[in-house]
Amino acid sequence: MNEVSGAPDAEDLALLAVPRGGRKRADEWALVLASQSIPVRVLHAERGWVLEVRRADLSRAEASLAAYTRESREAARARRDEEQAGEEFIPHGPLWAGVPVAIVLLAIFAYGGDPANREWLFTRGSARAHLILEGEWWRCVTALCLHSNFSHVLSNCFAGLFFIGAVCRILGLGLGILLVLAAGTLGNGLNAMLQSPMHNSVGASTAVFGSIGLLVGLSVVRRHRSKLRRKHSWVPIGAGLALLAMLGTAGERVDLWAHFFGFAAGVALGIGVVLGRKEAPPAGVQWLLGTAAVLAILLSWGLALS
């Protein structure tokens, strides 16, 4: 290791015992002292490893090692907090959850087609603002199942494969699908309050952006609970808004506010679910939640068509 310069008298030298860790810890401490310009030498004594320093440097050496030990403990504690934060909602759900959603949307489009082919279906299921505000809340759900043309449904199916699959991978199939549906429903409801009474819209994109919001909400809480990343808790929100700007504003007749409200509802639900529990529900509960999502869609269409 670093040798002390010159040949000082024995009474000018002091020894610092290395309590544990052997030669590795002794070398580590010697590097710490060397970084503070404190001459040091590593020695093996009868009771273990020691550091030899000048007596004049003893106080500064002890203070440097105490500060280093304190910082090391804080860093280790922060890493443990990081690991514990990462253990929340350990990914265990299926990545293919977006596949059945895409199949259902394509099947409904194949039956209903565009508004010109099945005008009655769109008349009863679209998210017409004044009808929603007059009590036909089920339109917030049924509108998610309808699309104006093939490119519309195809783009939502493609995006849903990734984002809905990612949500279900973290939260589980049942809870993931239910929260995506809830985010899309809330997004349509909030949009109806903002738009003119005759505003009308269809499409699953509100739920797709709700799934992006859910991922953002989950990441925000995880980062906030992590001491290492707490000051960067806003980063997922910025990333989500960037995706909203890139994917949610392109094309003609885009309902930007529906996308934004779906995203915002997803963020709120994502934050709420992580704050409310530490892990995803077990398989039995997942099936119940998934069944509740399916029943909510069937009930909404039953009310729409009755």
CATH code at 50? 3.30.70.1530
Domain that holds residue 43: 10-86
What local confidence, expressed as pLDDT, does residue 222 receive?
Answer: 76
> How high is the pLDDT of residue 248?
55
Residues 123 and 68 in one domain: no
Number of domains in the chain: 2
Query: Is residue 238 packed enough to be buried (19+ CB in 10 Å), middle (13-18) or exposed (0-12)?
Result: exposed
Q: Has residue 4 been placed in a domain?
A: no
Kindly state whether residues 100 and 39 are assigned to the same domain.
Answer: no
CA distances from 17 to 34, 40, 53, 73, 128 (A): 17, 13, 11, 19, 78
Identify whether residues 56 and 101 lie together within a single domain. no
Domain with residue 142: its CATH number is: 1.20.1540.10
Q: Using one digit for the tens of pLDDT, what is the confidence trace for 130-145? A: 999 999 999 999 999 9
The dihedral sign for the CA sequence 171, 175, 176, 182: negative
Does residue 284 lie in a domain region?
A: yes
Among residues 86, 116, 143, the one where a domain terminates is 86
Residue 75 sits in the same domain as residue 174: no
pLDDT digits (tens, 9 = 90+) for 205-234: 999 999 999 999 888 887 766 654 555 566
Does 2 fall in a domain?
no
Secondary element (H or E) of residue 168 = helix 150-171
The conformation of residue 199, written as its DSSP 8-state character, comes to -
Q: Do the beta carbons of residue 217 and residue 271 sit within 8 Å?
A: yes
pLDDT score recorded for residue 291: 95
Tokens for 132, please give them. Answer: 């929603």
| Last residue of one domain, picked from the residues 19, 54, 86 | 86
285 and 156: one domain?
yes
Residue 5 lies in a domain: no
Q: Give pLDDT, residue 1.
A: 44
Residue 288 forms part of a structural domain: yes
Asked whether residue 143 falls in the same domain as residue 53, the answer is: no
Comparing C-alpha atoms, which of 140, 178, 168, 123 is closest to residue 295?
178
Of 19, 22, 98, the C-alpha closest to 65 is 19
Q: Domain ends where: 52, 86, 120?
A: 86
In the three-class reduction of DSSP (H, G, I as helix; E, B as strand; rest coil), residue 18 is classed as coil
Contact between 174 and 281 under an 8 Å Cβ cutoff? The reply is yes
What is the reported pLDDT for 65? 87
Tell whether 159 and 203 lie within a shared domain. Answer: yes
3 domain-assigned = no
Taking the C-alpha atoms of residue 180 and residue 76, their distance in angstroms, rounded to an integer, is 37
Sheet containing 48-54, strands listed edge to edge, beginning at the edge strand earlier in sequence: 13-17, 48-54, 40-45
- For residues 119 and 34, membership in a common domain is answered with no
User: Looking at the structure, do residues 82 and 99 belong to the same domain, yes or no?
Assistant: no
3-state secondary structure of 211: helix
Do the Cβ atoms of 183 and 163 come closer than 8 Å? Answer: no
pLDDT score, position 10:
57
Instruction: State the Cα–Cα distance between residues 90 and 171, nearest whole angstrom.
Output: 8
Does 208 lie in the same domain as 62? Answer: no
* 205/198 Cα distance (integer angstroms): 20
Residue with tokens 């003119």: 196
Q: Is residue 160 assigned to a domain? A: yes
Distance, first Cα to last Cα, the chain: 86
- Residue 176 sits in the same domain as residue 263: yes
Triad 242, 244, 245: Cα angle to 5°: 65
Is residue 75 domain-shared with residue 129, that is, in the same domain? Answer: no
> pLDDT tens digits for 241-284?
676 777 656 656 678 889 999 999 999 999 998 887 767 788 88
Q: What is the mean pLDDT of each run of 10 residues along the chain (306 residues)?
A: 47 77 83 87 82 86 87 74 55 79 90 72 91 95 92 90 91 93 96 92 93 90 64 66 67 79 94 80 90 96 92
State residue 57's pLDDT score: 83
Longest CA pairwise span in the chain (Å): 101
**Within a domain: 63:** yes
